[in-house]
Structure 1
Amino acid sequence: MENRIVIANCGAIAPLVGLLQSSDPGTQEHAVTALLNLSINDNNKIAIASADAIEPLIHVLQTGSSEAKENSAATLFSLSVIEENKVRIGRSGAVAPLVELLGTGTPRGKKDAATALFNLSIFHENKARIVQAGAVKHLVDLMDPAAGMVDKAVAVLANLATIPEGRNAIGQNDGIPLLVEVVELGSARGKENAAAALLHLCTNSNRFCSQVLQEGAVPPLVALSQSGTPRAKEKAQALLSYFRNQRQRRG
């Protein structure tokens, strides 16, 4: 930990950022790995972004070896913890190559990409970028338990479900049956995020609402409203009362 501070204070960040553009794949890989390790320190997160590292990191994400791409995604995730970096990374064109890695990367690359996209999706302006880059299809694919990424995928989808484009993409890519399945069978955190996503889908679209009901969402939502985390209970109860109100209106 103390070496991360010493190395940064001795002025290593700028030359490492310069080496991200190296034509030697090994050098590029070592530079991005060094920056990833330095970025674990919060002060260094700001210093790395201030050294104009974001565009060169995106360059590595687009052109590097698979290990370099993974470490670049992990570095962007690490930097995106800082609020103003979420804005810079989104505006610098990182979303499309992160979505590409989400679709085609190694299992670790996909995890790093999903985590980076989750952080970026907290900033509202980035949500539409992530949807437009085609992330929803990959996220729905990653809800297959065999991928080992259900929780990460559902967390990003819950953020994207807060905008119309995100909801439409979830509906078009057959995400609804899988979200209902997570409410029934997922982890505590997965259930919570799946319920939040379904609440956005149902309260904004009668069509999606009918689909959620057809998928048999009511019994798992009833169970969740009684036994979930506080936030999961709240989302499940809100959804169930929404269904009741809709029925009474029609009735």
Structure 2
Amino acid sequence: MGSGKNMWKISFHKSPSHLLLLKKQNHTSIPVEFLCPLSGSIMADPVIVSSGHSFERNCVHACVSLSFNPTLPDGAAADFSVVIPNLALKTTILSWCRQHLIDPPKPIDFYSAEQIVRKLIPQLPANELIRTPSEVSVASSEDSVTPRNGRFTPLPLTTRPSCYSSSSSTCDVEISSSNFSEEEELVVKLKSSQIHEQEEALVSLRKMTRTREETRVYLCTPRLLSALKSLISSRYSSLQVNAVAALVNLSLDKQNKVKIVRSGIVPPLIDVLRGGFQESQDHAAGALFSLSLDDQNKTAIGVLGALPPLLHSLRSESERARHDSCLALYHLSLVQSNRVKMIKLGAAQILLGMVKSRYMLGRVMLVLCNLTASAEGRAAMLDAGAVECFLSLLSHGEFESPATQETCLAAIYGLSYGGLRFKGLAKEAGTDEILTKLLEKTESNPSREKIKRILEVLRKKHEDEEEVNWEELLNLDDDLSRTHSRISG
């Protein structure tokens, strides 16, 4: 069937639900741009990816989770390195539905999306793996794998190894009959006082959870997690590295993510990220990234203290640790409480410094875009010179992809909620002129829409405000200060 390094060419067909909708509404056609190329149905939560294509959000998540890079009917390869909400398309779809008296589409849940994507993946031989580029937990230093196409595939999960083989009834019987004995044998060895037995069990656990997806579910028990927890803090490098790597493999299954966090394993994981062996730190960053994908874990991970070491890991010597720490921060910053903590830790200054150095620009811009969703984040970013920094990027066109430029525009639009202060800083930086020129040469509809909105904010006069006379206002402030001094005296 070919190597896992190849891009798969597949045919996309309209889903039965979509055909039913067409028949029910008696429409000759639905605009093709409204349909997700993977599910074939109208998109409820469209996102645009680095390659310029739009998909249903959970279909993208499923593709990246399963390490699947589809080749679309037009021959172009989908690039999921950056994922941005396509608000313009979403608005257009909802407007079209209202005009045609069609109920708005409902988002596809992750499990359904995963089933859709699985059906599109060609079956591989049992001994053939599709590996993801970041490969945080899958291969040890002795078992390294060359990144596919030389690129890293970030959101939302780059650490998941995908191994697909046709399952037979014989295999299912073997698994069901040996579940308990496998888990029991591993737990006994993990709790052994002999180092070599512990290491043997960890290596075995790591291999089993790397190549057998069903194994991750039935081995993720409280007993095994408890035994694994104690070995994560081991002073022996081989034990620590294999324990954290095995944990990452276990965390790849969605059913295990909340279970792992509730087992109390996150604090020792954070300790490893702070001061463990270098390879262990790489895996720890990948584990926190993997666990942060579940919405139920985001707040807990922040409360347990993962944010400071993740921010520190952005300066790690390891590229793996830097990339996965940044992706973990992206998912964690979707929660307001984590955004506030990150601002207090100086995240705005750290991330803007990385933007100025043009390092990991796409990922860093995504985190900054999240920070603009809070008043604290906007204030800190305005203090740190975010407006001038972002406009410098736009004026020089220094972006790794069109999606990164769109994220930059989204971040500026988020900052525009900073009110008069933003308008003052934007005017000083020449925002109107820069964006007007950019609008003339920008072809992307989402980017054009964002530019127009920012310009509208800059040019809009507040109807409920009189023209501000700053000189008079400052003189009045001085008079009030002197009056207050006399009263105090």
TM-score range relative to shorter protein? 0.7 to 0.9
Paired with 1:250 and 1:110, the residues of 2 have a C-alpha distance of 48
Paired with 2:304 and 2:445, the residues of 1 have a C-alpha distance of 37
State the shift of 1:167 in Å. Answer: 1.7
1:204 — aligned with what?
418
1:245 aligns with 2:457: no
Give the aligned residue type for 1:210. G
Contact 2:361-2:404 at 8 Å conserved across structures: yes
State the shift of 1:77 in Å. Answer: 0.8
Cα deviation code 1:112-142 (max 9, x no counterpart):
1111110000011110011111212221122
1:233 aligns with 2:448: yes
2:390 — aligned with what?
179
Cα deviation code 1:28-63 (max 9, x no counterpart):
122111211222222232332232221121111112
Q: What pairs up with 1:96-107 in 2 under 5 angstroms? A: 96-107=308-319
The normalised TM-score by structure 2 is 0.47
Of 114, 138, 141, 2:326 maps to: 114
Q: What pairs up with 1:143-222 in 2 under 5 angstroms? A: 143-144=355-356, 146-147=358-359, 149-184=360-395, 185=397, 186=399, 187-222=401-436
1:16 aligns with 2:236: no
Who wins on radius of gyration, i.e. which is larger? 2
State the shift of 1:94 in Å. Answer: 0.7
RMSD: 2.5
Q: Cα gap change, 1:205/1:105 in structure 2, threshold over 3 Å: closer, same or farther?
A: farther
The unaligned stretches of length 5 or more in structure 1 are: none
Contact 2:292-2:332 at 8 Å conserved across structures: yes
Give the 3-state SS of the residue equivalent to 1:143 in structure 2: helix
2:212 — aligned with what?
3
2:347 — aligned with what?
135
Paired with 2:246 and 2:368, the residues of 1 have a C-alpha distance of 31
The normalised TM-score by structure 1 is 0.87
Contact 1:102-1:110 at 8 Å conserved across structures: yes
More helix per residue: 1 or 2?
Answer: 1
Contact 1:171-1:208 at 8 Å conserved across structures: yes
Give the aligned residue type for 2:323. K
1:79 aligns with 2:314: no
Paired with 2:281 and 2:381, the residues of 1 have a C-alpha distance of 27
Paired with 2:233 and 2:248, the residues of 1 have a C-alpha distance of 16
State the shift of 1:224 in Å. Answer: 4.6
The unaligned stretches of length 5 or more in structure 2 are: 1-162, 164-210, 469-489
Paired with 2:388 and 2:277, the residues of 1 have a C-alpha distance of 36
Paired with 2:216 and 2:362, the residues of 1 have a C-alpha distance of 35
Give the 3-state SS of the residue equivalent to 1:142 in structure 2: helix
Paired with 2:410 and 2:216, the residues of 1 have a C-alpha distance of 43
Q: Cα gap change, 1:7/1:84 in structure 2, threshold over 3 Å: closer, same or farther?
A: closer
Of 78, 92, 115, 2:304 maps to: 92
Paired with 2:310 and 2:344, the residues of 1 have a C-alpha distance of 13
Paired with 2:358 and 2:412, the residues of 1 have a C-alpha distance of 23
Q: Cα gap change, 1:54/1:108 in structure 2, threshold over 3 Å: closer, same or farther?
A: same
Paired with 2:214 and 2:353, the residues of 1 have a C-alpha distance of 40
Contact 1:183-1:190 at 8 Å conserved across structures: no
Give the 3-state SS of the residue equivalent to 1:43 in structure 2: helix
Cα deviation code 1:192-227 (max 9, x no counterpart):
222222123233232332222333333453435852
Of 21, 27, 32, 2:244 maps to: 32
Paired with 1:104 and 1:174, the residues of 2 have a C-alpha distance of 25
Q: Cα gap change, 1:146/1:182 in structure 2, threshold over 3 Å: closer, same or farther?
A: closer
2:204 — aligned with what?
none
Give the 3-state SS of the residue equivalent to 1:227 in structure 2: coil
Q: Cα gap change, 1:96/1:183 in structure 2, threshold over 3 Å: closer, same or farther?
A: same
Paired with 1:65 and 1:108, the residues of 2 have a C-alpha distance of 14
Q: Cα gap change, 1:25/1:229 in structure 2, threshold over 3 Å: closer, same or farther?
A: farther
Q: Cα gap change, 1:88/1:224 in structure 2, threshold over 3 Å: closer, same or farther?
A: farther
Give the 3-state SS of the residue equivalent to 2:233 in structure 1: coil
Q: Cα gap change, 1:23/1:72 in structure 2, threshold over 3 Å: closer, same or farther?
A: same
Q: Cα gap change, 1:175/1:65 in structure 2, threshold over 3 Å: closer, same or farther?
A: farther
Paired with 2:357 and 2:296, the residues of 1 have a C-alpha distance of 34
Give the 3-state SS of the residue equivalent to 2:314 in structure 1: helix
Counting matched residue pairs gives: 249
